[in-house]
Amino acid sequence: MEMILCKLGEVVLKGLNRRSFEDKLIANLRRRVANCGSFRIYAKQSTIYVEPTDDAADLAAAFDACRKVFGVIAVSRALPCAKDVQAIIETAKTYLHEDLSTAASFKVESKRADKTFPLTSIQLSQQVGGALHQAYPNCAVDVHAPALTVFLEIRDDAAFVHGPAVPGAGGLPLGMGGTAVTLLSGGIDSPVSSWMMAKRGVALEPLHFFSPPYTSEAAKEKVIALARELAPWCGRMRLQIVPFTEIQEEIRRNCPEEFFTLVMRRFMMRIAQRCAEEAHAKAIVTGECLGQVASQTMEALRVTEDVVTLPVLRPLIGMDKEEIVRLSRKIGTFDTSILPYEDCCTVFTPRHPRTRPHLDEVRAAEAALDVEALCGRAMDGREFVRIKL
């Protein structure tokens, strides 16, 4: 029966800790393919096997799910057969018939993980390649730049035949890097920064600031949609939606206009830290990129980070906008991110924001505010949305 082979990435470098990484990865794969049918999932020889247990399993859907699981570097659909040259040839003819019939050229690559197999990898490739060329004479042999590569893997339990693998998500298994609160706006950057930290094995607790009536219900639904688009990569999440209108209005009434955005960001960071403490998270993630806007200069970043003690992770800090947009398209959030709905970060935007603020000036500017009371009421008014796979 056809199955899925998931190749491990940097998990194989983990030494004595490798088993815990593999166990977490298998658990994540089981969770992701649970809606695709019944599968047996197990690890052997630096590969995780996703094997359907009956014909009702949706292998195509499972394949797409596996491709988005962090920790998997490559995914391929493969057909097992007996570890016999003739069986391998017949399996290749049957399984890859359509590809071999239409390809202009091909080559065979073999990997002999089972060293008791009587042929070397080169000998196996030569024998199978010769037989396939006889069966498909219109498909030329080209070992340098073939249109199709036929892969053979000789493993302990069976031989496997498959075509080219599809790149996986890479990174580390989700959950191995702890948990972080990620600030999720409706823009392009924050979904990408969230995805990048999830790729490093960090489980995410998304946090969104909502400012009615300045931001609409449609804007809130847009952020919920972004969280759902991240879920196939980042797993199940709990999105916290924090009411932010009162804080922004108090800032407008009591603070100098040039500091509006900086004081607002300091409140966001304070609330993020409180949410992180509740969720036992160890860091805060933002989509900030150095120099992209006035509040993202080095001086401004120091001002906003001043109010928290947790590490602030900024995976986009050295990227340019084109790189961020390219990743946004890859992970499937771009089209939603560019929907023209309001974001609380654009509410009461100062005409001339201070780009090189002094910390003492900003502290003095917000001294007129009852910081604790404002943060407390915002925390009390939170809405929680469960984001499921």
pLDDT for residue 351: 82
What's the token pair of residue 123? 């000998």
Q: Which two tokens stand for residue 1?
A: 């029966």
- pLDDT of 345 strictly over 90: no
Spacing of C-alpha 35 from chain mean position: 19
User: Backbone dihedral region of 39: left (phi > 0), alpha (psi from -120 to 50 degrees) or beta?
Assistant: beta
CB-based contact 206:194 (threshold 8 Å): yes
Alpha-carbon span 369 to 253, nearest angstrom? 10
Angle between helix axes 260-278 and 371-380 (nearest 10 degrees) is 60
pLDDT computed for residue 355 by the predictor:
86
Region(s) of the chain under CATH 3.40.50.620: 179-387
Residue 353's pLDDT band, with cuts at 50, 70 and 90, is confident
pLDDT at 200: 97
Say how far apart CA 174 and CA 212 lie, in whole Å: 34
pLDDT of residue 389: 81
Tens digit of each residue's pLDDT (9 = 90 or more) over 360-382 = 999 999 999 999 999 999 999 99
In 3D space, the residue among 82, 39, 46 whose CA is nearest the CA of residue 63 turns out to be 39
> pLDDT tens-digit profile of 68-99?
999 999 999 999 999 999 999 999 999 999 99
Q: Which homologous superfamily does the CATH classification assign to the domain defined by 179-387? A: HUPs (3.40.50.620)
Give the model confidence (pLDDT) of 172-226 as tens digits.
999 999 999 999 998 999 999 999 999 999 999 999 999 999 988 999 999 999 9
- CATH fold label, 85-157: THUMP fold (3.30.2300)
Rounded to whole angstroms, how far apart are CA atoms 193 and 228?
15
Rounded CA gap, 46 and 137, in Å?
36
Specify the domain boundaries for CATH 3.30.70.1510 within the chain: 1-82+159-173
Q: pLDDT digit string (tens) for 239-265?
A: 999 999 999 999 999 999 999 999 999
Distance of CA 222 to the CA centre of its chain: 19
Task: Give the pLDDT confidence of 301-331 residue by residue, as tens digits.
Answer: 999 999 999 999 999 999 999 999 999 999 9
Say which residues have a Cβ less than 8 Å from residue 145's Cβ, sequence separation at least 6.
Answer: 105
Confidence tier at 107 by pLDDT (50, 70, 90): very high
CATH code linked to domain 1-82+159-173: 3.30.70.1510
Residue 288: partners with Cβ closer than 8 Å, 6 or more residues away: 189, 296, 301, 314, 316, 317
Locate CATH 3.30.2300.10 in the chain: 85-157
CA 261/CA 169 separation, integer angstroms: 35
Mean pLDDT of the chain: 95
Q: Are strands 47-52 and 72-81 parallel, antiparallel or unpaired?
A: unpaired
Q: Where residue 354 falls among pLDDT bands split at 50, 70, 90?
A: confident
Q: Is the pLDDT of residue 294 over 90?
A: no
